[in-house]
């Protein structure tokens, strides 16, 4: 079970804003509900287990009870709505840098919302906007990953002991810092994202709407969209799914 006393000792400021639940349908749903009640920026909802955890495009997010960190943060960002695409990337950068800097794990950010280790998914990020706020949901595989070759947990590759309490404290600090920065100087942040971007320079096929596209990834735009050269033409995609190399 997540040790709330330990977390309070290492991250007292975040603990003050933490709503912990043993079980929820989805931390994102609970965060939306709290946001409607008017909770402050950086309110956090953490659950040990979700019965209806969701990912992008209606996908299910699976995680065994206590295996990972399942949390959502209510954000009231100082950012125009057209730049909300930056938020998942900024959060992804923060989380990936914690894995790189604290655990020497070569994590990569995969546009738009995944963090990969050895090409396997260790973390998914779900950003949902409603009225004047944004809910940032994070599913991070810490102790065990869900079954399936495509997933990995930090514990599978870390060389030392892994503490969910410590990781939550570190990733929350990193996320909040990077999300603030994405409103101020996204160009600088983009350079840091590009340096650990999984897709940079790669040839990909993907779906945008119903249509399949093929092209080379050139970079990320100032609104967080993916820049792809397809048939000699540079195009911007705010949404893409089923990205394959
Ligand atoms: C994705 O990879 O498609 C995003 C997955 C996001 C999962 C997290 S788990 C905590 C939060 N609550 C949810 O219902 N979803 C997000």
- CATH classification at residue 155: 3.30.930.10
| Nearby residues of 148 by Cβ (< 8 Å), 6 or more positions away | none
Show the DSSP H helices in 50-208 as ranges: 85-103, 154-157, 164-184, 186-195
3: CA distance to ligand 1 center in Å? 22
Q: How confident is the model over 33-88, as pLDDT tens digits?
A: 999 999 999 999 999 999 999 999 889 999 999 999 999 999 999 899 999 999 99
Structural domain boundaries enclosing 214:
203-244
Taking the CA of residue 71 as reference, the ligand 1 atom at the shortest distance is 10
- Taking CA atoms, 142 is separated from 145, 226, 240, in Å, by 7, 28, 27
Taking the CA of residue 55 as reference, the ligand 1 atom at the shortest distance is 3
Q: How confident is the model over 200-238, as pLDDT tens digits?
A: 999 999 998 888 999 999 999 999 999 999 988 999 999
Give the length of the chain. Answer: 245
Same domain, 116 and 224: no
Q: For a pocket test of ligand 1, which of 2, 23, 25, 28 has the largest count of ligand atoms closer than 8 A to its C-beta?
A: 28
**The predicted structure's pLDDT at residue 210:** 85
Query: Which two three-digit tokens encode residue 228?
Result: 């792809």
Burial of 52 (0-12, 13-18, 19+ CB in 10 A): exposed
Q: pLDDT exceeding 90 applies to what percent of the chain?
A: 89
Same domain, 73 and 149: yes
Same domain, 110 and 160: yes
**The predicted structure's pLDDT at residue 241:** 86
**The predicted structure's pLDDT at residue 57:** 85
Q: For a pocket test of ligand 1, which of 126, 148, 168, 198 has the largest count of ligand atoms closer than 8 A to its C-beta?
A: 126
Same domain, 36 and 120: yes
- Rounded to the nearest 10 degrees, the angle between the axes of helix 85-103 and helix 186-195 is 50
Show the DSSP H helices in the chain as ranges: 4-10, 12-16, 27-36, 85-103, 154-157, 164-184, 186-195
222: CA distance to ligand 1 center in Å? 24
Query: Which two three-digit tokens encode residue 60?
Result: 């299910």
Q: How many folded domains does the chain comprise?
A: 2
**Arithmetic mean of pLDDT, 89-115:** 97
Q: For a pocket test of ligand 1, which of 25, 55, 68, 142 has the largest count of ligand atoms closer than 8 A to its C-beta?
A: 55
Same domain, 151 and 220: no
Q: Flag whether pLDDT at 167 surpasses 90.
A: yes
- d(Cα 140, Cα 180) in Å, to the nearest integer? 21
CATH code of the domain in which 222 resides = 2.30.30.100
Cβ < 6 Å from ligand 1: which residues?
A: 26-28, 50, 53-56, 59, 61, 70-72, 113-114, 124-126, 137-139
Question: CB atoms < 10 A from the CB of 206, how many?
Answer: 21
| Of 193, 118, 226, the residue nearest 215 (C-alpha) | 226
- d(Cα 33, Cα 39) in Å, to the nearest integer? 9
Same domain, 103 and 39: yes
Taking the CA of residue 26 as reference, the ligand 1 atom at the shortest distance is 14
Same domain, 153 and 216: no
């Amino acid at each position: 079970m997540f040790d709330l006393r330990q977390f309070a000792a290492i991250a007292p400021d975040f603990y003050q804003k933490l709503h912990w639940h043993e079980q929820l349908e989805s931390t994102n749903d609970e965060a939306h509900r709290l946001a409607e009640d008017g909770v402050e920026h950086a309110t956090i909802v953490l659950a040990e287990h979700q019965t209806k955890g969701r990912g992008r495009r209606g996908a299910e997010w699976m995680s065994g009870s206590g295996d990972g960190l399942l949390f959502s943060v209510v954000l009231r960002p100082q950012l125009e709505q057209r730049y909300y695409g930056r938020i998942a990337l900024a959060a992804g950068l923060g989380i990936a840098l914690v894995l790189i800097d604290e655990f020497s794990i070569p994590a990569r950010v995969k546009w738009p919302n995944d963090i990969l280790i050895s090409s396997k998914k260790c973390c998914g990020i779900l950003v949902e906007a409603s009225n004047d706020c944004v809910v940032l949901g994070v599913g991070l595989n810490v102790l065990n990953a869900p079954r399936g070759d495509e997933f990995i947990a930090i514990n599978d590759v870390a060389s030392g002991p892994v503490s969910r309490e410590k990781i939550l404290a570190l990733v929350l600090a990193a996320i909040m810092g990077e999300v603030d920065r994405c409103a101020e100087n996204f160009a600088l942040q983009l350079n840091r994202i590009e340096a650990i971007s999984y897709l940079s320079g790669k040839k990909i096929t993907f779906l945008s709407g119903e249509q399949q596209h093929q092209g080379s990834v050139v970079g990320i735009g100032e609104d967080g969209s993916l820049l792809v050269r397809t048939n000699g033409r540079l195009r911007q995609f705010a949404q893409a799914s089923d990205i394959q190399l």
